[in-house]
Structure 1
Amino acid sequence: MLALPKRAAMLVTGIAAVGLSACTPTPASHQDETILVLSRADYVSRLHGFWLGQSIGNWTGLVTEMDKIGGDGPHGVFYTRADWGQPDQPAIWGEGQPSDISPVIDFVLRRPGETWGADDDTDIEYLYQEALYHSDATALTGEMIRDAWLTHIYDEREETPYGRDGEVWQNYLWVSNQRAHELMLEGVIPPATGNAQYNPYTDMIDAQLTTEIFGLYAPGRPDIARELGHLPVQTTARGAAEDAALFYITLHALAARSEPGTAMAEQVRAMAFQARETLRDDDYPAAMFDFVAAAHASGQPWEDTRDALYERYQVRGEDGYDISERGLYCNGCFASGINFGASLISLFYGEGDIRETIRIATLAGWDSDNPAATWGGLLGFMLGRDGVEAAFGMPLSEEFDIHRTRRSFPNSGRDTFTAMAEKGQAITERVVLTRLGGRLSDDGLSWIIPMPGPTEPRDG
């Protein structure tokens, strides 16, 4: 297990305890206030770690994406830990060929001088951040989302640089994202693009790929993070898929409260159970959480839990999980539910170790790059850039090419994680000062953020 770096947040009860200037008046009514103290410079490193960890998880998970989805045939026999380092097997697409990313199932790393390419686990968050950064806002509007999507996403009906994908052109959008984009082209503005009346795919995984970053803009305040992410989530999701995406956002907001000296496994578990309180007890995401958490606590191997998850939900449809036949893009592939369950397995069994968490997510099955990217980003944020590089034992590239999947960004789409992190820090500061009731420390080096009580109110 990885030890949390000493540069993590400081959660303090009593303003006087944070070492602020003695000449700064402290109202008596605030003497017992719990506050979160965050270094502004450190937050850049942590956001860098988010983008780096997310990219490692994304590209490692892409090696096995849709190799194993359950059912009969070669795609139904799931991977196990013994398959790590072994030859990749063909996915449900690609004309029976293994991944062209790596011939074996192993970590995909980019060293200095190489470039990380954007994919659907990073590119929508990138364009959301750009839209926020270049505005004076702390939250996106439907018009801002529409304008960003139409400016930076190719129309699959027109020629793209990526070639044809069947009868249309490749534009790196899938399922609910694709339908939302089509609706935007027709003049529909979010959140109507995620209304099931117009979009039949709102129970798919899409929002879980594209919105985690909003948790990082409201450090330590998942209630505000969910407000910031609510409209982006509803751009493509409703119901249980929306709840799953908001669960991810909650975890990312809680990550800012991570404390030095406490084992990562303990912190991740505590964060997960606090985020569980946002899930509705009468819907399947909460049941999935409880099922996986109990299996992990029992000591059952992760492969057995994954197999049991498949049987319970994808085969038997327990806890209200819908297993109606809806074709390739439903239960066995891009459905929010089965992928949410798989993500919980890697979160619990990874126990805060970024390498083990990404490894399990990559082997677990289904849309494997999604959980691998999500938890790579979460743990990367908690570790910061230096912690991620230490975990993988080498310096890693910070070069990023958004034009691998999107268009119309400056510098031919070339960017760096440092620059991306600095933009994220600027947005976070805007939120801290205007939405969280925070302020700068006397020396201007830290944010002082008041924290609510120990539990967050459950969303309606």
Structure 2
Amino acid sequence: MGTAVRLTWIHPEDLIGHELRQARQDGRDAEAVARRWRDAGGHDAPPMAGASAEPAPPRLRRLAEELLDELASIPSPLADREPTDLDAVIAACPDWPGARLAAPGPDLADRVHGAWAGRAAGCVLGKPVEKIPREGIRAIAEATGNWPIRGWFTARGLPDDVAARWPWNRRSASTSLAENIDGTPEDDDLNFPMLALALLERYGTGFGTEDVAQVWLDELPAGRVFTAERVALRNLLLGLVPPQTAVHRNPFREWIGAMIRADVYGWVNPGDPARAALLAHRDAVLSHTANGVYGAMFAAALTAMSLTAQDPEEALAGALRVVPPESRLAAAVREGAALARSEREFERVLDALHARHADLHWVHSVNNAAAVAAALVHGAGDFGASVAAVVSAGWDTDSDGATVGSVVGGLLGASGIPARWTDPLRNRVASSMTGFDAAAFDDLAARTRALVPRAAD
């Protein structure tokens, strides 16, 4: 007999621990459910990979399914101030923009190109240290003479004991260390923006969430998506439709997945954070709710602002206008930015953020949005300083590096990003997406700009 396949992010007995954590975070009283799970021999959420090593007995799996549904029926006391419905989100934002905040200038082509290239560079910087905690990232950088981080990670000169204690992902390291970068390697943080571009080219800006679902079914193998996206794909295959796909046995619905999908919605709406956020909302509700959706709206608004703003502070101010101010994500963004303004030593900023968000998974939307905001303020428009700061936070390093790289790349334009961050990428990105393998960033930028008049009419 062959070994049983243990898929990550799917099995009920692995989801229940994450859902219990989510319940604590949104104020639901789940202690009775937690006690029943523990008394039956259930385990906590797997800390990293998303699946325990061994399958659960059938009785435990059935109990997990029952308890997941029971937890879903417990109302959250935060629901009123953290709605998911679009009309309620807009109503919760007293400063929601009623019109475009700024018109794009003659440098739009350079800025969109910079956004694509910057996203790729930030992603590649964070890729080899994904899943390595903050202290490990610093140990690797210090041991190789790269602390504070000012360039690509490298294995050259890395002592064996440091490498053994903090091993990188072999697959990622083979394509994203200084000594072997040869073009931009495939990554979900780059596949999703290309998927959004394909969606807009196919359906236009009037697309619906069901169109997002169709593109996913056409283009995304389950093995290339994670957490909430994998659960949403499973739910689609079970015959569920949005927004049920986001909530059915999906404890990852407030994690970072929707945030990494949203940049293109901002790039086709330069200077218009509200319209960018509306498109991001339609995409996000396929798989996310509340703060998970706000992460996408925040990212889309940030990237929209990055193409017209003069600095990160202006971009952040515009982006916060589309996030309910009483939500945990808005509070985290404000806190991250404020800490970076008041404390010049970024390690102390990170100390405070890690203490504040110690209960969150390393790919939750709230803590990662705080890190993005802090890095943008700290970097003050310097590309290398900004992406290095957010990667040093040690949470979702490649996703956050991509988002910060996108925003600062949009602010600077391709011509303003130092060549040492873009030359190794060779103006191409690998992808399993239909029609996108070896796509050039200048071509992707041109295709994106072609959608701007249709988005801004």
Give the TM-score taking structure 2 as reference length. 0.68
1:410 aligns with 2:429: no
Task: Give the match for residue 53 of structure 1.
Answer: 118
Whole-angstrom CA distance in 2 between matches of 1:289 and 1:245: 13
Report deviation, 1:96: 6.2
1:302 aligns with 2:346: yes
Whole-angstrom CA distance in 1 between matches of 2:323 and 2:102: 26
Report deviation, 1:185: 2.1
What per-residue deviation string (whole Å, max 9, x for no partner) do you get for residues 42-66 of structure 1?
4333222222111111111012112
Contact 2:104 2:308 in 1 (8 A): no
Task: Give the match for residue 98 of structure 1.
Answer: 168
Structure 1: which amino acid aligns with 2:263? E
Secondary structure, aligned partner of 1:415: coil
> CA 1:77/1:385 → structure 2, altered by over 3 Å: closer, same or farther?
closer
Report deviation, 1:337: 1.7
> CA 1:37/1:279 → structure 2, altered by over 3 Å: closer, same or farther?
closer
Contact 1:175 1:206 in 2 (8 A): yes
> CA 1:415/1:289 → structure 2, altered by over 3 Å: closer, same or farther?
closer
> CA 1:47/1:393 → structure 2, altered by over 3 Å: closer, same or farther?
closer
What per-residue deviation string (whole Å, max 9, x for no partner) do you get for residues 70-106 of structure 1?
8xxx79999888363676799xxx9963243449997
Report deviation, 1:370: 1.2
Secondary structure, aligned partner of 2:442: helix
Structure 2: which amino acid aligns with 1:147? Q
Q: Which has the higher helix share?
A: 2
Contact 1:68 1:79 in 2 (8 A): no
What per-residue deviation string (whole Å, max 9, x for no partner) do you get for residues 123-147 of structure 1?
1121121121133x21322232122
Report deviation, 1:278: 3.1
Report deviation, 1:303: 0.7
Secondary structure, aligned partner of 2:242: coil
Contact 1:58 1:373 in 2 (8 A): yes
Task: Give the match for residue 31 of structure 2.
Answer: none
Task: Give the match for residue 431 of structure 1.
Answer: 455
Gapped regions of structure 2 (runs ≥ 5): 1-99
Whole-angstrom CA distance in 1 between matches of 2:248 and 2:422: 50
> CA 1:364/1:95 → structure 2, altered by over 3 Å: closer, same or farther?
closer
Secondary structure, aligned partner of 2:429: strand
> CA 1:333/1:54 → structure 2, altered by over 3 Å: closer, same or farther?
same
> CA 1:133/1:366 → structure 2, altered by over 3 Å: closer, same or farther?
same
> CA 1:397/1:210 → structure 2, altered by over 3 Å: closer, same or farther?
same
1:179 aligns with 2:251: no
Whole-angstrom CA distance in 1 between matches of 2:127 and 2:166: 16
Whole-angstrom CA distance in 2 between matches of 1:127 and 1:253: 18
> CA 1:126/1:242 → structure 2, altered by over 3 Å: closer, same or farther?
same
Overall identity of the aligned pairs, in %: 22
Task: Give the match for residue 256 of structure 2.
Answer: 205
Whole-angstrom CA distance in 1 between matches of 2:339 and 2:282: 34
Report deviation, 1:182: 1.1
Superposition CA RMSD, Å:
3.3
Task: Give the match for residue 121 of structure 1.
Answer: 189
Report deviation, 1:294: 2.6
Give the one of 281, 285, 304 matched to 1:230.
281
Whole-angstrom CA distance in 1 between matches of 2:112 and 2:427: 12
Secondary structure, aligned partner of 1:121: helix
What per-residue deviation string (whole Å, max 9, x for no partner) do you get for residues 352-391 of structure 1?
1111111111211111111110011112122222222547
Give the TM-score taking structure 1 as reference length. 0.67
Give the one of 282, 285, 290 matched to 2:334.
290
Q: Which has the higher strand share?
A: 1
Contact 2:332 2:367 in 1 (8 A): no
1:66 aligns with 2:135: no
Report deviation, 1:222: 1.0
Contact 1:53 1:388 in 2 (8 A): yes
Whole-angstrom CA distance in 1 between matches of 2:378 and 2:323: 21
Aligned length: 346
Work out which structure has the larger RCO, using CA pairs closer than 8 Å and 6 or more positions apart in sequence.
1
Report deviation, 1:231: 0.8
Contact 2:175 2:185 in 1 (8 A): no
